[in-house]
Amino acid sequence: MRIVDKLLQRQRHLKWCALDPLEIILMILCGLLLFGSSTTVMFDIVTREIGHPWLWLQEVTSTFFIYAVFIGASVATRRNDHLYLTAVAEALHGTRRLVAEVVIRLVVLGVACCLIYFGYINFLRRFSSFRMPSMTPIASLYAAIPIAGFLIALFTIEQLVNGCRKGFDHPEPREQSQPAPDSTIAGRGRRP
């Protein structure tokens, strides 16, 4: 529940948005997928060391990991956590910032459209290849690509609409203010 509390705290300074519950669900899902990936790797090592390997664990681990990466990418897009792109735009102000923010989001939207289109093509083509030992189609892994593309496109469109309407500058949430120490005591090095 700590993740949910942090997300809700982050949203208090902004208006609640319709996609916030989806972000919370995706964050929880991403955490569960990463936990599952780590756990299955541990079980894979343990079962191999005791001489009775569970071969299907590698399939489960790769599935958890792949879905965690692509869902994490979509959540990072929603949270505007792609560091290099935001650093450029945050250094600008006024019209230049608006143009930079829109261009950055249009590039991200183009990438999302490529993920949807080419990911779906790869998804369809992978029904003829199978994973061993379960013999499930590899398409089950490739499904993560167009899903992530759709989520990235959805979050990018939301950012474009909100940014053009309200501006891209969002103040950071204020920290809990600490009472200022008495400067006369602090300056002399005395303890109260």
Q: Please compute Rg for the chain using Cα positions.
A: 23
Alpha-helical (H) ranges within 79-178 are 83-90, 94-125, 139-142, 144-166
Task: List the domain boundaries for the chain.
Answer: 2-169
Q: What is the pLDDT of residue 20?
A: 86
**Per-residue model confidence as pLDDT tens digits over 27-62:** 999 999 999 999 999 999 999 999 998 888 999 999
Q: Is 15 left (phi over 0), alpha (psi -120 to 50) or beta?
A: beta
Look up tokens 């204020």; give the residue.
Answer: 174
Q: What is the model's pTM?
A: 0.75
Longest CA pairwise span in the chain (Å): 78
**Per-residue model confidence as pLDDT tens digits over 108-147:** 999 999 999 999 999 999 888 888 888 889 899 999 999 9
Strand partners, 130: 137
Higher pLDDT: 173 or 149? It is 149
Q: Residue 156 corresponds to which amino acid? A: T
